[in-house]
């Protein structure tokens, strides 16, 4: 499967790869495994989707933010690897939701990213292990932060 063609078929537009917000590398590769730094819902020039689930953001806002975070992860992978065709599959995601103490729907929020990856790579390769949890706060008050581990093609 050609993933770049697949993105076009799905009419998906990637944002620019997000600028670094600290002292880290966007992606570190060891063997056939790529560790990708925590990403937020980056829109490009318009900045990040911000806010807190359970307070100023509803479930659909959160799911949309997670999908946008997925697009930002794809943008970084493409930028760092040269082509998304180098990615074989998703190994694991850690989905972190900016949420109030009584928020309970973190999995539904992070599904916004997981469903995107399933569209892009298919269910077998696009869906990995996952945790979806609620954070006390996130950098710049972004709505969602997701980090990932991906397997690369040999």
Q: Which residue lies nearer to a copy of itself by CB, 7 or 132?
A: 132
Interface region with a copy of itself, contact rule CB under 8 A, candidates 2-10, 11-19, 67-75, 113-121 = 113-121
The span from the CA of 112 to the CA of 118, in Å, is 10
Which residue is associated with the tokens 């990040």? 48
Cβ of residue 69: shortest distance to a copy of itself, in angstroms?
A: 12
The SS3 assignment for 76 reads helix
Residue 119 engages a copy of itself in binding (rule: CB under 8 A): no
Site string for a copy of itself, 135-154 (x = CB under 8 A): xxxxxxx---x-x-x-x---
Cβ-based neighbour number of residue 23 at 10 Å = 5
Q: Where are the alpha helices (DSSP H) in 55-131?
A: 59-81, 106-126
CB 149 to a copy of itself: min, Å: 7
Q: What are φ and ψ of residue 18, in 5° steps?
A: -60, 145
Instruction: Check residue 91 for interaction with a copy of itself (CB under 8 A).
Output: yes
């Amino acid at each position: 499967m050609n993933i770049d063609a697949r993105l076009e078929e799905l009419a998906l537009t990637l944002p620019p790869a997000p600028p670094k917000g600290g002292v880290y590398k966007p992606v570190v590769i060891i063997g056939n495994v790529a560790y990708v730094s925590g990403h937020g819902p980056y829109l490009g020039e318009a900045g990040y989707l911000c806010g807190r689930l359970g307070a100023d953001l509803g479930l659909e806002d959160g799911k949309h933010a997670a999908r946008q975070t997925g697009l930002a992860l794809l943008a970084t992978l493409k930028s760092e690897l040269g082509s998304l065709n180098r990615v074989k599959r998703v190994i694991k995601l850690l989905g972190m939701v900016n949420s109030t103490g009584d928020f309970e729907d973190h999995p539904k929020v992070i599904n916004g990213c997981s469903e995107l990856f399933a569209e892009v790579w298919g269910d077998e390769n696009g869906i990995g292990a996952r945790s979806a949890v609620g954070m006390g706060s996130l950098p710049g008050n972004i709505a969602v932060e997701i980090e990932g581990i991906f397997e690369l093609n040999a």
